[in-house]
Structure 1
Amino acid sequence: MIDRSEFRRTDPEWLAEAWGRARVFAVHGGRVSAMSDTPSGLPGGGLASADAAARLFLGVDGEGTPYFAVMSEVPDMTLLREVLLDPPSDLFVELALAAVALANWHESHLFHPRTGHPTRPVHAGWVQQTEAGDLTWPRTNPAVLVLIHDGVTGDNGRILLSRNVARPGNVRSVTAGFVSPGESLEGTVARESFEELGVVVSDIRYVASEGWPFADELMVGFTALADPDQPLVLDPAEIAEAEWRTRAELRSSDVLLPARISISRMMIDNWLAGKLP
C-alpha cells in the first residue's frame, strides 16, 4: 500500500525535489502509460519539466520512492480498464486508480461550482482553486453492489443474477445502484433490490469496497438474503432479464460473469466456493 503523505501536498520545495527522483506515469482520458523510473523516461520524453500544476503527487513507497502521475497524453497509452485485466503490480493498480480519478475530475470540472470562476490544480493535484482563492475538492459517488442469495449451502444454494439493458445477452452480474441523497448504504441495497428486481431482501451484510474512477465511484459490496419464491418484477429501464441459479447450474453454464478485477466477480466467486453464506 502506498503512503499518500498528504502533508507533502502543500510543500512545494519537497515536491520539486521529489519530482527529480520520482517514478512517473502519464494519464489522459482514462488511459495510462507505463511507469517510468524517472520523469525524463516517460514515453515520448519531454515531460521531465512538466508544469507543476499537471503533476499529481500520489505518495511514497516503503523505500521512500515518490510516485507522480502527469496529466498529459504521451505515445503508447492504454485504457485503464485493459490494464486492470492484466496489471503489472498491485501498487500500479492503486496508483493508477487514484491518478485516473483525479485526472477525470480535473478534466470535467474546470469551473468552481458556486462562483463559476475557472479553477487550476493546487496541492499537488488534490484541490482546485480559483484566482480569488475559492477551493473545491474531488467528489466520490457511492454505489452499492449486492449479491442476493437464498442462504442455502452446497450445490443447491441459489443466487439471483441479472443482465443490465446495456450489457450483451450472455452477461450476468449482481444488482447495483447509486446511493440517493440522505440514504444509508443498507437503505440503497434494499431499495435497489426491490426497484430493479421486485424482491425484498434481509440480513444485509457488508463485504468489501473498491474505488472505481470511471464515474468517480466508490463501489461498496454487500450480500443479502431473499426468498427465491418471490415473483421477480423487473424494471425494464434497467434490467433486461434475471433468474435464480444454483451453484451447480452456474458452474456448468456458459454465462459471462464480470471481470475478475471487480468486487462483483469476487463476491460471486466466493459465493460459488462457499466462502460467503
Structure 2
Amino acid sequence: MTAVSESIGFNLNPLNRHSDKRDDHAFIDRLHGSPAARFLVFDGDVPLLKRGSECDAWFRADEAAAIGEPLQRIFLGEAADGSGRFALGLALNDVSPEAGHERIDLRSIAQQGLVAASELGILAEAKSMLDWHRRHSFCANCGSPSRVTSAGWQRICDTCSTRHFPRVDPVVIMLVIDGERCLLGRQRHFAPGMYSALAGFVEPGETAEDAVRREVMEEAHVNCGQVAYFASQPWPFPSSLMIGCFAQAGSTEIVVDVNELEDARWFSRDEVVAMLAGTHADGLSAPKPFAIAHHLLRAYAEKGSAVLNT
C-alpha cells in the first residue's frame, strides 16, 4: 500500500481475510472458539466501544454475550497474533443496558480519531458487511428468504439455489483543475462553509474516467479532458468504493445543478491551502483528513496541476 493510501481513513486493514477458508467450518469454529478470539459488536449499524481511558472496540466472547444475542456473525479475518476477529450484529436498540460501553457512530469515530487507523479499517469492513445482510435477507431472484453461508460472506437461496455476494458500489470523486484553481462544490447537508470535490456513482457499462466527465458535466456543466487516478477509499456508508481522481478542465463556465449542489465555484490554490489550514478569510473549510477529498485537495495544494501527470 502506498503512503498516500495509508493516510486515508478506513484504508488500513491488517487482517488476513482468508477468503479461501470461509467454507472451512473446522477452521472458522477453531478461531471462533478460541479464548483469544475478539469481536466487534454493532447495535444496528452503530459500533459499541468500551468506556475507559482509551476507546476499545474489541470484546471478548463473554463480554459480547453479555451485551445481547447477535443476529449476524461475520468472520472478518485472522490477526497477526493468530486470533480470529469477528463482527456481531445485534438488532437495533436490542442491546442490554450493560455499563461499560457506548454507541458511537463510525463517522464520529473516524473524525475524532477514537481508534487506531488499522482498527478503523476493520470497523469499516464489519459495518459494510452487516449492513449488506440487513438489506439482503431475501433472494433478489425469487423473493424467498436467503440464509447466510461462507462465514458471513455469502447468502444462498434454498428455493432457487441463487448465491448472493456482498455488493460494493463504485463512486468517482474528482478534483477538477484549471491551472492554479480547482472546482469545488457543496451539498445542502454539508457543515456550514465546507466545500468538497464533486462525486457521483459509476453507472453500468461506464468506465471510471467517463463517470468523472459525466458527473462534472451534470453537476457543474464543465467539460473535462484528461483524467488521472489518485487513490481509492472504502466508504462504509453503507458500502461504496471511492475512486479518487484529478481531471483537467476543458471549460470554465459553471452552471450549477441545484438538484445536486447548493453551490459550486472555482477556488484558487492559495484558498485551498487556507481551507486545509483552517485560515480561510471567509471561514470556508475542507473535508476532514479521514476523507479522500481532503487528500485530493492536499495533493493539489502541494503540487498544483502536476498531480495530473502522476
TM-score normalised by length of structure 2: 0.80
Given the alignment, which residue of 62, 68, 77 partners 1:40? 62
Separation (CA, whole Å) in 2 of partners of 1:192 and 1:169: 23
1:28 is the counterpart of 2:43: yes
- How far apart are 1:4 and its partner, in Å? 0.4
Given the alignment, which residue of 129, 149, 152 partners 2:156? 129
Counting only pairs closer than 5 Å after superposition, residues 92-131 of structure 1 correspond to structure 2 as: 92-131=119-158
Give the ranges of 4+ consecutive aligned residues of structure 1 lying more than 4 Å apart after TM superposition. Answer: none
Contact 1:28-1:100 within 8 A present in 2 as well: no
Given the alignment, which residue of 249, 265, 277 partners 1:243? 265
- One-letter code aligned to 1:246: S
Separation (CA, whole Å) in 2 of partners of 1:26 and 1:46: 9
Is the alpha carbon distance of 1:90 and 1:249 closer, same or farther for their aligned partners in structure 2, counting shifts above 3 Å?
A: closer
Is the alpha carbon distance of 1:200 and 1:246 closer, same or farther for their aligned partners in structure 2, counting shifts above 3 Å?
A: same
- How far apart are 1:8 and its partner, in Å? 2.1
Contact 2:40-2:59 within 8 A present in 1 as well: no
Equivalent residue number for residue 259 of structure 1: 288
Separation (CA, whole Å) in 1 of partners of 2:222 and 2:299: 22
Separation (CA, whole Å) in 1 of partners of 2:271 and 2:235: 30
Contact 2:44-2:89 within 8 A present in 1 as well: no
Is the alpha carbon distance of 1:168 and 1:61 closer, same or farther for their aligned partners in structure 2, counting shifts above 3 Å?
A: closer
1:138 is the counterpart of 2:202: no
% identical equivalent positions: 28
- How far apart are 1:230 and its partner, in Å? 2.1
Equivalent residue number for residue 17 of structure 1: 30
Q: C-alpha deviations, 1:240-265, integer Å up to 9, x for none?
A: 11111112233142212112111111
Contact 1:28-1:103 within 8 A present in 2 as well: no
1:69 is the counterpart of 2:92: no
Equivalent residue number for residue 5 of structure 2: none
- One-letter code aligned to 2:27: W
Is the alpha carbon distance of 1:88 and 1:167 closer, same or farther for their aligned partners in structure 2, counting shifts above 3 Å?
A: closer
Unpaired runs of at least 5, structure 1: 152-156
Separation (CA, whole Å) in 1 of partners of 2:109 and 2:30: 30
Is the alpha carbon distance of 1:158 and 1:140 closer, same or farther for their aligned partners in structure 2, counting shifts above 3 Å?
A: same
- How far apart are 1:125 and its partner, in Å? 0.8
- How far apart are 1:77 and its partner, in Å? 2.2
Separation (CA, whole Å) in 2 of partners of 1:82 and 1:169: 17
Given the alignment, which residue of 184, 205, 209 partners 1:186? 209
Counting only pairs closer than 5 Å after superposition, residues 162-201 of structure 1 correspond to structure 2 as: 162-201=185-224
What root-mean-square deviation, in Å, do the aligned CA atoms of Structure 1 and Structure 2 show? 2.0
Separation (CA, whole Å) in 2 of partners of 1:46 and 1:181: 42
Given the alignment, which residue of 90, 97, 100 partners 2:117? 90
Separation (CA, whole Å) in 2 of partners of 1:198 and 1:169: 24
Separation (CA, whole Å) in 2 of partners of 1:97 and 1:37: 17
TM-score normalised by length of structure 1: 0.89
Equivalent residue number for residue 105 of structure 2: 79
Separation (CA, whole Å) in 1 of partners of 2:214 and 2:114: 35
| Secondary structure of residue in 2 paired with 1:273 | helix
- One-letter code aligned to 2:86: F
Contact 1:24-1:67 within 8 A present in 2 as well: yes
Unpaired runs of at least 5, structure 2: 1-13, 50-56, 96-100
- How far apart are 1:273 and its partner, in Å? 2.1
Equivalent residue number for residue 4 of structure 1: 17
Aligned length: 267
Equivalent residue number for residue 53 of structure 2: none
Contact 1:163-1:169 within 8 A present in 2 as well: no
Given the alignment, which residue of 231, 252, 272 partners 1:230? 252
- One-letter code aligned to 1:76: E
Separation (CA, whole Å) in 2 of partners of 1:237 and 1:139: 27
Separation (CA, whole Å) in 1 of partners of 2:116 and 2:60: 18
Given the alignment, which residue of 178, 181, 187 partners 1:150? 178
Is the alpha carbon distance of 1:82 and 1:168 closer, same or farther for their aligned partners in structure 2, counting shifts above 3 Å?
A: closer
| Secondary structure of residue in 2 paired with 1:139 | coil
- How far apart are 1:178 and its partner, in Å? 0.6
Is the alpha carbon distance of 1:37 and 1:237 closer, same or farther for their aligned partners in structure 2, counting shifts above 3 Å?
A: closer
Contact 1:30-1:214 within 8 A present in 2 as well: no
Separation (CA, whole Å) in 1 of partners of 2:234 and 2:151: 20
- How far apart are 1:46 and its partner, in Å? 5.6
